Amino acid sequence: MYGVSSSAQPTTTVGIVDWHQDPTVASDLSAYRTKFGLPPCTESSGCFTELAANNGKVGVASKGEIGEITLDVDAVSAICPTCHITLVDAASGATSDLFPAVTSLASMGVQFISMSWSVPESASAPSHDSYFAAPNTLYVAASGDNGYNDKSGSCGGAPVCYPAAAPGVIAAGGVSTTQDSKFYYFSAWKGAGSGCANYAPEAPAQAAAIGNPCSGEKPVADISALADPNTGAATYSTAYGWGVFGGTSLATPLITALFAVSGNSTDPYAFYANNAAHPGLALDVTTGASIGCAGTPVCTAGTGWDGPTGLGVPTTPLLFAIDPANTITLTPVRGTTATIPLGQTLTGNAFTATGASGHYSWSATGLPPGMTIDPAVGSWQGTPTSGGVYSVVVTAADAQNQASVTSATFTLTVQSPLALSTASGARASLFALKDTPIDTAPVSASGADSALSWAASRLPAGLTMNPSTGVLNGTPSRVGESHPVVTVTTSGGDTAALEVDLWVVQFYWCDNFVAHVGRRLAVDCAADWSATPSQGVGWRRLPGDVTYSARGLPAGTRIDSRAGTVSGTPKRPGTGTLHITMSIRPNGVLISKAIRPTVSIRYTVRA
């Protein structure tokens, strides 16, 4: 009826305040839960706790009082079978006993408190409001069972009942409920208390959502649930046996338990904004009226807020959540990472979901080729056809209310056979400069786990390989050609090896030169390199991204920044020193960072 799924299993404690003691409440609760297949909730397990106020001096409840107590504990059980229940037995039905009993629950840390009773709102009400103002505590109170302005009954003579009229307390209205094979049907219950408080202002959240139906005073009720005894809920007690009970005494624990399922004990009026932002979280009740009604919205059901039913009937606990768009919780089944060999079928679920309605639509992005996710149950399907590390985002959306969506990341590593490769896929031909530090990984491993051991043989003098990272470090001290073999070993003992070519080289620049005034000059001062400079052969242009600049050029000449050629027509005779700087980016060159070597060249310009 209220969209609570069996997968929503909070162990939150719901507090109940009644008066006098039902001597068989614990055993009766067990009988009720057994009848409907609910998990046990016993005193020995700590799920059910009964505390007597007044130092334990609490009288035995009358049959009518037993009916109220039974209704409270059974209604909480029906909405939230896994919730814990703490029942406080007040010494009497007087406010001097009831209000401190409420305070005692809050002082124990109970965050959700059900008060299915009421007293007249009076001029002294503001002095009692502090009983219902503990931080991080949610209070729900019955709006009363005697209709508009409650001209009779426990709140006789007062426009509305208290503490339903207290600031911050959720006033539980009531509906009559019928059903057929497909739907539930709701109308305002004629006994539902409704009206306008005299001593409490309307909360800003209420005013923002529904305006000012009570001219700035607190309107009652806020939200409604099943209350009509003729369409009420089953209960069991030794005193009554099996029976059907109702009243806003039923609506109150139902709504309190829905808050407990939502987990929101800090923002009691969040549901006003939630209902506006996400239509469908509450079902508007538009028929019926409270007895004694004068035809106004404060006592007649209609479109939008009305007194007997408030905003209407919750269709999901999501209505009460602090953030209704993110109340699904995803829990990893076996952690958030997995590693499988290429071609192995992955089975099971990465996450389980709880919260919202309990019915989810699953999806996933970033899956390896060949894999999908079952949209109905969230389990893996298929076999990955490509290796790699995949960051998979798994999403569960509430199938009954798409406003509730939660995602989580699962890292899936699909291992290909262990292999070493270069970035280009071709043989690694590496270029290092003599006396210039290097710091780079010549190859990378695929199809391997994270626990790798690296080694390299036949390295040039001055170079070593980091065994944990596969990075070459050091400063090569001699020019020459070498062919190191890089080897990687996994934690499981698998190995792979790859030979690479490595040249440690030095530069050759242009020589000192002679030019003439008025004659065109063209000198190639670009740097060449050789791995065998002592033999005077093998000189080549530098690979990678190289640019040139110069200081001290003869007047009338310039240097080409890309070609390194000094050209132009010298204007006057003389001698000087030309300083050429080469900038090399580590683009395809085995250099850890850009370098800027400079050469000084003597020149003479003759007349």
What is the DSSP-derived secondary structure letter of residue 418?
P
Q: Residue 544's pLDDT is what?
A: 66
Whether 28 shows a pLDDT value over 90: the answer reads yes
* Mean pLDDT of the 287-295 span: 89
What sign has the CA pseudo-torsion 271, 277, 279, 285? positive
2 falls in which pLDDT band (50, 70, 90)? very high
What length is written for the chain? Answer: 607
Determine the residue type at 597: P
> Higher pLDDT residue, 533 or 346?
346
Buried/exposed code over 434-471 (b: 16+ C-beta within 10 A; e: otherwise) = bebebeeebbebebbeeebebebeebbebbebeeeebb
> Higher pLDDT residue, 89 or 447?
89
Q: Residue 207's pLDDT is what?
A: 96
Q: Residue 435's pLDDT is what?
A: 83
In angstroms, the CA 97 to CA 132 distance is: 14
| Percent of the chain whose predicted confidence (pLDDT) is above 90 | 65
> Higher pLDDT residue, 322 or 530?
322
> Considering the entire predicted model, what is its pTM?
0.60
In angstroms, the CA 79 to CA 261 distance is: 8
| Percent of the chain whose predicted confidence (pLDDT) is above 70 | 93
Kind plus residue range of the DSSP H or E element containing 204:
helix 204-210
The answer to whether 165 and 206 have CB atoms below 8 angstroms apart is: no
What are the percentages of helix, strand and coil residues in the chain, rounded to 5? 15, 40, 45
**Residues facing residue 463 across a β-bridge:** 474
Q: What is the pLDDT of residues 481-508, one digit of tens each?
A: 889 999 999 877 778 899 988 888 777 7
